[in-house]
Amino acid sequence: MPPTNFFQSIWAKKIRIIDRFYFSLILLVLAVLYYRSRYISVHVPFTEYQWEVYTILFFLVSFIVIDFWGDFILKCWLTVSGLVGKLIFYGLMIIVYFLILSPVFFIVHLFTKKKEETSSNWSKKMYINKDYQNMG
Partner 1 sequence: MYILGISAYYHDSSAALLQDGRIIVAIQEERLSRIKHDRSFPQLAILKCLETAGISIADIDLIVYYEKPFWKFERILDTVTYHIPFSFPQFSKAIPLWVKNRLWISAEIKKKLKYKGKILYASHHESHAAAAYYSSGMDNAAILTLDGVGEYATTTLSMAEGNKITVLQEQNYPHSLGLLYSAFTQYCGFKVNSGEYKLMGLAPYGKPVHQQKIYDHLIQSYSDGSYRLNMKYFNYSEGLNMINKKFIALFGKPARHPESEMDPFYIDMAASIQIVLEELVLKLVECTKSLTQKENIVFTGGVALNCKLNQKIVESGIFKNQYFYPCPGDAGSAVGAAYLGWHGYLQKEKTPVVHSPVYIGNSFSSAIILEQLDQLQIPYTVSENTTAIIAEKLAAGRIIGWFNHRMEFGPRALGNRSILADPRKPEMKDILNEKIKLRESFRPFAPIVLEGAAHELFDLHPANYDTMMVTAKAKPGALDLMPAVIHQDGTARIQLVSKELNSKGFELVEAFYQLTGCPALINTSFNIRGEPIVESPIDALRTFLYTDIDILVFNAEIMLEKNADTEKLKHIIKPVNYAAD
Partner 2 sequence: MERFRVFFQLMKYLWTRRKFWLIPIIVVFVFMGIVLVISESSVVGSFIYTLF
> x/- string (CB under 8 A) for partner 2, residues 113-132?
--------------x-----
**CA–CA separation, 66 vs 75, rounded Å?**
14
Nearer to partner 1, 111 or 122 (CB): 122
User: Would you say 70 and 20 are in contact if contact means Cβ atoms under 8 Å apart?
Assistant: yes
For residue 89, the minimal CB distance to partner 2 (Å) is 5
Identify the sign of the CA torsion 33, 37, 41, 43: negative
User: Would you say 7 and 79 are in contact if contact means Cβ atoms under 8 Å apart?
Assistant: yes
Stretch that binds partner 1, among 16-24, 28-36, 63-71, 85-93 (CB under 8 A): 85-93
Give, in order, the Cα–Cα distances in Å from 105 to each of 92, 94, 112.
Answer: 18, 15, 10
Query: What kind and span of H or E run contains 129?
Result: none
Residue 112 binds which of partner 2, partner 1, none (CB < 5-8 A, kind-dependent): none
Residue 108 sits in the site that holds partner 2 (CB under 8 A) = yes
> Can you say whether residue 92 is alpha, beta or left, with left for phi > 0 and alpha for psi between -120 and 50 degrees?
alpha
Query: What kind and span of H or E run contains 8?
Result: helix 3-11
Binding test (CB under 8 A) with partner 2, winner from 28, 32, 100, 102:
100
Q: Which residues form the interface with partner 2 (CB under 8 A)?
A: 1, 10, 19, 22-23, 26, 74, 77-79, 81-82, 85-86, 89, 92, 96, 100-101, 104, 107-108, 127, 134-136
Q: Which residues form the interface with partner 1 (CB under 8 A)?
A: 89-90, 93-94, 97-98, 101-102, 104-105, 108, 119-124, 126-129, 132-136
